[in-house]
Structure 1
């Protein structure tokens, strides 16, 4: 794989970049992202247990899951400044410590307030686990490899989503969900140690030109340049709902849906959510490279969005599925939601080189803010339809699926007229 330093003709006589070095870098960054994917989706499978143990309703459940993304989005602009000033590796290491603290607080909390605080800490802690690797990839690799690397990053890191399904269900059933999060805290610190040893901000031999670190004020002021880029609002619309389509189902309502409609216990919920997550991970490896086949990310992203809308309508309108169809339907839905690397790559292509960092950060605020609003809002939808019913009716979950499909469809209408973007070999 060609690095960006090699593309620009830089030499590195002292250290040669090898395939093993690249694999270690990508693997370590994916392990960091694993933590984020696990924590953001960890409410879904244990949601019925949290409701029962803490006596909370769907509105509180929606808040508990969504505040992770609120904390994540809140810190994005300061995060860009911190990455520019201290380096992506250093910021990620500090974030890993904060995320592990959030896990411990979550495990020890006995009240809704404590759990919400813990989720905010987790979101703040995980806030650099995507932007940090993207920054490093931009420094190491040519831009026509970026979408593929994002797909690999998301695919490997999304194993964390898998672990938030059946493995978390097994842990919660065996040692309890509280002890399971203590184990996650220890594992997060271990991943931080590995990253500290392996990850480098720049390819070996790269000489960075001296630059004055940006301030928070200049970063905020610089957003006006991002907002002036043609098509940025159309792309923001897709960022706002593309990932939240998956996260609202897999990370929040999938577990309650399986419990209320199919009567599945903790282990069974874990199994079916595992299939959903496995479908998404398989899709990430397939959707990501399609931009090179189609000459850009927009066309395959449109296909993915249409597939996701179709699956949501199927789940909403078909009624409870027979046992043989439920697993495949969830897996196909997960696969269809995996077009997100294409949307991220489109953002990478939309901005000129001097705005790439600020532009991707701005769009990522939309991504995480979208999950926060959609999860929070759907909590009220479920509450309005189900009320205080011990077992919620299918109509409550059908309404969630229709709401998510409608939001994605509306965003797609805006996205259709976004600039295509092109992959120039550089």
Structure 2
């Protein structure tokens, strides 16, 4: 348990670094003298690197194991955070966020793989949700602590001080993390041959459960991530006229809601496997409804009560996206879990990256009209929902076939 806890701690620190720009967006515009499009480029580049690294990282996790990947990830995201702290130019800051995104990309898939090695399969949904919950705790640190430290001490001390946490976690990984329990080494799998990479990706993608998982992640995650990662604070302060302290509390509410929903969703899915699709569809529809009400509310400002509802609903986006891994996990054998998880994890971050860019461009084109810019969310939700509806039947049929095959195999295994 404590070994898995070290892996989760790595993810906790990575999320803290990833979301640190969410409370520093307005400071960044002044520090680097940039507009909304240039500001969104920070998060877009970070997520572009993150999404682009998912399949390579998944392959490397399957091939090298979790410890090596987590070590490399910690080194990269810590260096990126230090670089961001010392950045005096927009170009250097961009390079630092790209480096941070590269290291961040190596954490979650490795932690999921670590969970499958240290816990029984039946606990998979709950373990994944708890890992995500601990990541959101990192986001909570960002909104509660980092924002206040930034106001008190300024840019460089805040980001450099937070980067020191990466050095501590690096030592824990080096000395205490292990890929699997002693005596439970996985069976050897051949990773050689020129066709290994192509075979891993093709076999994972061929499974409807992998593709369904990717689209679930795509459709569910991005509204909450876009709000927390960058555009929530400017929307609340500039469009709604709320002071930064209150806006920070609303962002914190998103994080708290995420953590509570993660616990509930994990328990529900562990006990009622058929609840996966209804939970996803319900979350997406609730998100679309709350988002529309908040951005199209008549009058100059949306009432505080509606903003609170929006933040509570956005908190469910992360836990709903985790259900994507519960579709891909039973569809792939252990030696392909990293690759399949990488494909799934690309979904939400691709949607987030697209939306971050679109919102930034539309804000500049419409002179900061958040109603138009934020309506981008509905386009991507519609695309994702059509794919979920198209694939869910195929994935369910394939999953039933696998269950029947495993039972038949168990019956014919000699005592």
TM range, normalised to the smaller chain?
A: 0.7 to 0.9
1:382 maps to what in 2?
363
CA 1:272–1:171: 2 relative to 1, 3 Å: same
Counterpart-to-counterpart distance in 1, 2:346 and 2:239: 34
**SS of residue paired to 2:375:** helix
Counterpart-to-counterpart distance in 1, 2:295 and 2:304: 16
Shift of residue 317, structure 1, vs aligned partner: 2.1
Counterpart-to-counterpart distance in 2, 1:59 and 1:215: 44
Counterpart-to-counterpart distance in 1, 2:111 and 2:316: 23
Give 1:284-323 correspondences, 5 Å limit. Answer: 284-296=262-274, 297-319=276-298, 320-323=301-304
Shift of residue 359, structure 1, vs aligned partner: 1.6
Cα-to-partner distance string for 1:167-224 (whole Å, 9 max, x where unaligned): 1110110111321110111011112222334422112221343344457862134322
2:308 maps to what in 1?
327
Counterpart selection for 2:114 from 113, 136, 143 = 136
Counterpart-to-counterpart distance in 1, 2:211 and 2:148: 43
Counterpart selection for 1:47 from 20, 25, 39 = 25
1:124 maps to what in 2?
102
Asked if the contact 2:294/2:306 (under 8 Å) is kept, the reply is: no
Asked if the contact 2:220/2:317 (under 8 Å) is kept, the reply is: no
Counterpart-to-counterpart distance in 2, 1:323 and 1:334: 17
2:353 maps to what in 1?
372
Q: Which stretch of the first structure deviates more once superposed, 319-328 or 99-108?
A: 319-328
CA 1:95–1:337: 2 relative to 1, 3 Å: closer
Q: Does residue 71 of structure 1 match 2:49?
A: yes
Counterpart-to-counterpart distance in 1, 2:314 and 2:242: 19
Asked if the contact 2:14/2:107 (under 8 Å) is kept, the reply is: yes
Cα-to-partner distance string for 1:204-246 (whole Å, 9 max, x where unaligned): 2213433444578621343222232236444433322322221
Counterpart selection for 2:322 from 326, 341, 360 = 341
Asked if the contact 2:209/2:327 (under 8 Å) is kept, the reply is: no
**SS of residue paired to 1:318:** coil
Whichever structure has more helix as a proportion of its residues is 2
1:405 maps to what in 2?
378
Shift of residue 353, structure 1, vs aligned partner: 4.5
Cα-to-partner distance string for 1:354-380 (whole Å, 9 max, x where unaligned): 533322222222332222222122211
Asked if the contact 2:129/2:263 (under 8 Å) is kept, the reply is: yes
Q: Which stretch of the first structure deviates more once superposed, 377-386 or 129-138?
A: 377-386
Counterpart-to-counterpart distance in 1, 2:239 and 2:263: 32
Counterpart-to-counterpart distance in 2, 1:330 and 1:207: 44
Cα-to-partner distance string for 1:71-126 (whole Å, 9 max, x where unaligned): 11222233234323432112101210111110111111122111111110001111
Counterpart-to-counterpart distance in 2, 1:197 and 1:360: 27
- Runs of 5+ consecutive residues of structure 2 not aligned to the other structure: 408-415
**SS of residue paired to 1:56:** coil
Asked if the contact 2:59/2:338 (under 8 Å) is kept, the reply is: no
Give 1:130-209 correspondences, 5 Å limit. Answer: 130-209=108-187
**SS of residue paired to 1:164:** helix
Asked if the contact 2:54/2:346 (under 8 Å) is kept, the reply is: yes
CA 1:267–1:307: 2 relative to 1, 3 Å: same
**SS of residue paired to 1:201:** coil
Counterpart-to-counterpart distance in 1, 2:250 and 2:165: 25
Counterpart-to-counterpart distance in 1, 2:308 and 2:92: 35
Q: Which stretch of the first structure deviates more once superposed, 304-313 or 345-354?
A: 345-354
Q: Which stretch of the first structure deviates more once superposed, 53-62 or 332-341?
A: 332-341
- Runs of 5+ consecutive residues of structure 1 not aligned to the other structure: 1-21, 387-391
TM-score by length of 2: 0.88
Counterpart selection for 2:88 from 97, 105, 110 = 110
Counterpart-to-counterpart distance in 2, 1:345 and 1:306: 20
Q: Which stretch of the first structure deviates more once superposed, 34-43 or 221-230?
A: 221-230
Q: Does residue 283 of structure 1 match 2:261?
A: yes
CA 1:277–1:383: 2 relative to 1, 3 Å: same
- The alignment yields a C-alpha RMSD, in angstroms, of 2.4
